[in-house]
Amino acid sequence: MIDLNNKKFIALQNSENGEVSQQTCFHYFQQDKMIWAEYGGGEIAKGFLIGKWINETHIEFTYQHLNKKLENRFGRCITSFQYTQQNKLLGIERWQWLDTLENGESQIIELE
């Protein structure tokens, strides 16, 4: 299991129907298999996620945020992590909005 505690990530790319962008920063925390994060930036005013490790490289979580229009958005996601050649964590995310049931894919990369 990868240690996500106190790691920060930014988005590399996202589907058009997503609200996360390269201006969005995620700050992760971990206690055993439980993970959570706070995020914001770009179109996201404030967001939170909480979930767990489901195997050695994958987490599943639910997320909720307020965007800049003060709309409350929420969804679920499964992220798989791998290391890049530069030894940074790359997260490949498959997510779904729970209010519209639209889905998408995004990638996040670890900040130094």
Summarize the confidence of residues 14-35 as an average pLDDT. Answer: 96
pTM of the full predicted structure? Answer: 0.94
Query: Which amino acid type is present at position 101?
Result: L
CA distance 39 to 52: 17
SS3 content of the chain, % helix, strand, coil (to 5): 0, 65, 35
Please report which confidence band the pLDDT of residue 1 belongs to, taking 50, 70 and 90 as the band edges.
confident
Given this model, what pLDDT does residue 112 score? 78
Query: Which amino acid type is present at position 64?
Result: Q
Count of alpha carbons within 13 Å of 100, Cβ hemisphere only? 9
